[in-house]
């Protein structure tokens, strides 16, 4: 049955099915008919599981900002509002053929802590709205927090070619913080107008967000990190990691981002939609600014971006930096530990519009450049090519002194396997500039390119595609976890019954909740483990009666660990304070 309440402990699991009725209570046995009913009903902590079928949407009015299925409410920290396909059911969301208005289908407009997980989202030409796509996360222009912590996970987003002179994308994120795009398959934007305006993912003013483990193909640009020159639309502190991009004219283009980490991606087999393969770029750092000084562009542009441990294969340009210097000279850049193979220009800097040199604006080293024609730069504003050997480039520009030009020995580049064979010169060939293992040691040696272990996966982490396409996750988010009355104060002799609960957000893992703690037995308590199969709740308890010497070792620390079937875990801590009842209390007042 569906349990209802005002907080996480009363969070409800609802259900939608093509055989349902919106007059039903939304239980598994009596589901709703429409996802719109769920979007209008759910509150923080609620999850709706949508069963197999195609769900046709209608809307009132055309808007690039507001999804047809925009939730009415926001979730909260630890209690998101979650829309998810049921089990591995194939669930398609698209517009009703009779619908003439347009705009995004799913996402969030000015609502926080919203998650969409496991859907096939099908764009249609008739329902396109200018400057957007089928999935959109939009916050208010003032930069508030009303669309923070929204996520799109495990979805198959199928865009279509639309000939337009504006921005067309599959996913658009704007004015949002802490967004996440994870394990989605995104394709089909192609050549509607102009490379970076026809993007799989497009962002404006995205902050502290992560785009990881997505497969993006057949787009003008795989990811376009955009902004408007001279205003506050720049992106900041975002990470693009473990993404696979192919069949795109531009893999990743950074037009307006500060402190952007482009790390451990594979960009391969670029494709020109203009018929001119000289337009194909792996990663580009570029922006034009209408200002004439750094001050007039101080709120935008690119700065402090890192391009680390990526593999770029079969693109005309590997890494390209050009544009106006006001946008490109604010901060340092590190381009290290990359493998760049089968390019005409592995690195090219310039030209820029006022003829200044960009060579001083980046550090490049510990890369492997193999099968290339020439480097190109504009020292002193003059176009200069640097053909093989690599030593000519190194001597002329004082970069890449530790880089190599050797066959990296991919396992099977022809079929897209860019792992390194035993004996590869790229194994343990560069310092860990990006701190890939998170141990704060950036001097230890790591492999060039994205793959550091057999566990590393670039692109989808599913078997058979995105979950919406019928795949089964092999790597999932950790369980959500919460405690009833996290900290307790008890007297000696009192009964104690702590409870902790965990829910698997992916809806398909078995969760084990294990409480542990020193000296609990001597206090008269026992530890009981809770086990349940998601989406039901898993509960672990500490029970017993405190003995009359329990205060001796007070306070007691109880550590709770919730572990799902994929090995993801979350921990929390309870503090139990025991009071000595034999201690003298305050002197009572004497009545008069």
Which residue among 155, 183, 211 closes a domain?
183
> Within this chain, do residues 172 and 279 fall inside the same structural domain, yes or no?
no
> Within this chain, do residues 393 and 419 fall inside the same structural domain, yes or no?
yes
Domain presence at residue 421: yes
Omega before 389 within 30 of 0, i.e. cis: yes
Q: Which DSSP string corresponds to 150-194?
A: -EEES-EEE------SS-EEEEEEEEEES-EEES-EEEEEESSSS
How many separate domains does the chain show? Answer: 3
Q: What is the pLDDT along the chain (592 residues), one digit of tens a residue?
A: 343 333 344 589 999 999 999 999 999 999 999 999 999 999 999 999 999 999 999 999 999 889 999 999 999 999 999 999 999 899 999 999 999 999 999 999 999 999 999 999 999 988 988 888 999 999 976 555 678 999 999 999 998 877 766 788 999 999 999 999 999 999 888 654 556 788 999 998 899 999 999 999 988 899 999 875 445 567 888 999 999 999 999 999 988 888 899 999 999 999 887 777 888 999 998 765 555 554 555 445 566 789 999 999 999 999 998 765 444 444 567 899 999 999 999 999 876 655 556 777 788 999 999 999 999 988 877 889 999 999 999 999 999 999 999 999 999 999 899 999 999 999 999 999 999 988 999 999 999 999 998 889 999 986 443 444 333 334 445 666 666 556 778 888 777 776 666 665 544 456 666 777 767 777 777 666 555 444 445 556 667 777 777 788 888 888 777 776 555 677 777 788 888 876 444 444 444 3
Nearest Cα residue to 152 out of 80, 205, 207, 222: 80
> Domain containing 426: what range?
201-459
Omega before 122 within 30 of 0, i.e. cis: no
Nearest Cα residue to 433 out of 419, 421, 447: 447
Domain presence at residue 487: yes
Domain presence at residue 474: no
- Computed on alpha carbons and rounded to an integer, the radius of gyration of the chain in Å comes to 27
> Within this chain, do residues 283 and 431 fall inside the same structural domain, yes or no?
yes
Which residue among 424, 459, 494 closes a domain?
459
Alpha-carbon distance 128 to 192, whole Å? 12
Domain presence at residue 191: no
> Within this chain, do residues 170 and 252 fall inside the same structural domain, yes or no?
no
Query: How far from each other are the two terminal CA atoms of the chain, in whole angstroms?
Result: 59
Which residue among 129, 154, 183 closes a domain?
183
Domain presence at residue 240: yes
Taking each continuous run of H as one helix and of E as one strand, the counts in the chain are 3, 51
Q: What is the pLDDT of residue 329?
A: 44
Do residues 160 and 121 lie in contact, with contact meaning Cβ atoms separated by under 8 Å? no
Residues 6+ apart with CB under 8 A from 215: 184, 185, 186, 187, 243, 244, 459, 460, 466
| Cα angle: 120, vertex 280, 412; to 5 degrees | 70
Do residues 183 and 457 lie in contact, with contact meaning Cβ atoms separated by under 8 Å? no
Q: What is the 3-state secondary structure (H, E, C) of 210-268?
A: EEECCEEEEECEEEEEECCCCCCCCEECCEEECCEEECCCEEEEECCEECCEEECCEEE
Do residues 466 and 183 lie in contact, with contact meaning Cβ atoms separated by under 8 Å? yes
Alpha-carbon distance 165 to 348, whole Å? 28
> Within this chain, do residues 172 and 210 fall inside the same structural domain, yes or no?
no
Domain presence at residue 89: yes
Burial 129-142 (b: 16+ CB within 10 A, else e): bebbbbbbbbbeee
> Within this chain, do residues 277 and 174 fall inside the same structural domain, yes or no?
no
Coil, helix or strand at residue 311: strand
Q: What is the pLDDT of residue 264?
A: 97
Alpha-carbon distance 195 to 182, whole Å? 23
> Within this chain, do residues 425 and 279 fall inside the same structural domain, yes or no?
yes
Strands 495-503 and 538-545, bridge-based pairing: antiparallel
Report which DSSP code applies to 68: T
> What CATH number is associated with residue 569?
2.60.40.10
> Within this chain, do residues 39 and 128 fall inside the same structural domain, yes or no?
yes
Do residues 546 and 493 lie in contact, with contact meaning Cβ atoms separated by under 8 Å? yes
Domain presence at residue 465: no
> Within this chain, do residues 67 and 2 fall inside the same structural domain, yes or no?
yes
Strands 375-377 and 384-386, bridge-based pairing: antiparallel
> Within this chain, do residues 141 and 4 fall inside the same structural domain, yes or no?
yes
Domain presence at residue 573: yes
Report yes or no on whether pTM surpasses 0.85.
Answer: no
Neighbours of 353 (CB within 10 A): 14
Give the DSSP H/E element, type plus range, for residue 318. Answer: strand 317-323
> What CATH number is associated with residue 5?
2.160.20.10
> Within this chain, do residues 27 and 119 fall inside the same structural domain, yes or no?
yes
Q: What is the pLDDT of residue 283?
A: 95
Q: What is the pLDDT of residue 470?
A: 36
> Within this chain, do residues 438 and 298 fall inside the same structural domain, yes or no?
yes
Q: What is the pLDDT of residue 272?
A: 84
Q: What is the pLDDT of residue 480?
A: 63
Residues forming a β-bridge with 207 = 177, 236
């Amino acid at each position: 049955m569906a349990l209802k309440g005002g907080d996480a402990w009363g969070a409800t699991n609802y259900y939608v099915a093509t055989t349902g009725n919106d007059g039903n209570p939304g239980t598994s046995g009596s589901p709703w008919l429409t996802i719109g009913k769920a979007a209008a009903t759910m509150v923080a902590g609620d999850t709706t599981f949508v069963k197999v079928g195609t769900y046709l949407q209608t809307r009132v009015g055309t808007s690039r900002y507001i999804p047809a299925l925009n939730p009415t409410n926001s979730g909260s920290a630890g209690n998101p509002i979650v829309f998810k396909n049921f089990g591995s059911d194939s669930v398609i969301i698209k517009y009703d053929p009779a619908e003439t208005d347009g705009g995004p289908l799913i996402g969030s407009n000015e609502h926080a802590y919203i998650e969409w997980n496991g859907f096939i989202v099908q764009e249609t030409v008739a329902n396109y709205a200018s400057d957007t796509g089928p999935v959109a996360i939009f916050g208010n222009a003032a930069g508030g927090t009303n669309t923070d912590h929204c996520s799109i996970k495990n979805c198959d987003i199928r865009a279509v070619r639309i000939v337009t002179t504006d921005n067309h994308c599959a996913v658009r994120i704007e004015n949002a913080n802490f967004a996440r795009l994870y394990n989605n398959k995104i394709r089909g934007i192609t050549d509607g107008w102009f490379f970076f305006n026809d993007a799989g993912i497009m962002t404006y003013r995205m902050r502290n967000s992560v785009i990881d483990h997505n497969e993006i193909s057949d787009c003008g640009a795989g990811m376009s990190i955009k902004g408007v020159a001279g205003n506050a639309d720049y992106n900041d502190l975002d990470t693009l990691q473990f993404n696979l991009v192919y069949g795109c004219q531009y893999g990743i283009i950074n037009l307006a981002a500060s402190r952007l980490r482009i790390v451990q991606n594979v960009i391969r087999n670029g494709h020109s939609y203009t018929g001119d393969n000289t337009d194909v770029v792996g990663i580009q750092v570029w922006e034009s600014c209408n200002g004439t000084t750094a001050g007039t562009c101080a709120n935008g542009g690119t700065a402090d971006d890192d391009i680390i441990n990526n593999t770029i294969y079969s693109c005309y340009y590997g890494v390209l930096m050009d544009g106006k210097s006001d946008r490109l000279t604010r901060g340092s850049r590190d381009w290290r530990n990359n493998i760049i193979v089968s390019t005409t220009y592995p690195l090219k800097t310039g030209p820029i519009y006022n003829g200044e040199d960009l060579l001083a604006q980046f550090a490049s080293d510990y890369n492997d450049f193999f099968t290339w024609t020439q480097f190109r730069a504009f020292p002193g504003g003059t176009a200069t090519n640097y053909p093989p050997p690599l030593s000519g480039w190194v001597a002329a520009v004082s970069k890449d002194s530790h880089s190599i030009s050797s066959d990296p020995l991919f396992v099977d580049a022809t079929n897209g396997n860019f792992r390194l064979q035993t004996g590869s010169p790229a194994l343990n060939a560069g310092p860990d500039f990006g701190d890939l293992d998170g141990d704060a040691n950036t001097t230890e040696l790591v492999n060039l390119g994205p793959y550091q272990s057999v566990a590393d996966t670039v692109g989808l982490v599913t078997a058979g595609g995105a979950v919406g396409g019928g795949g089964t996750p092999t790597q999932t988010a950790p369980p959500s976890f919460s405690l009833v009355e996290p900290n307790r104060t008890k007297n000696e002799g009192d009964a104690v019954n702590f409870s902790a609960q965990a829910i698997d957000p992916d809806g398909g893992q078995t969760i084990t909740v294990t409480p542990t703690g020193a000296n609990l037995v001597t206090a008269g308590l026992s530890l009981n483990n809770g086990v349940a199969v998601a989406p039901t709740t898993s509960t672990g308890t500490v029970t017993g009666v405190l003995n009359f010497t329990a205060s001796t070792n007070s306070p007691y620390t109880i550590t709770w660990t919730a572990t799902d079937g994929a090995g993801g875990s979350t921990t929390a801590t309870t503090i139990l304070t025991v009071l000595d009842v034999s201690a003298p209390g305050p002197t009572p007042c004497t009545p008069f």
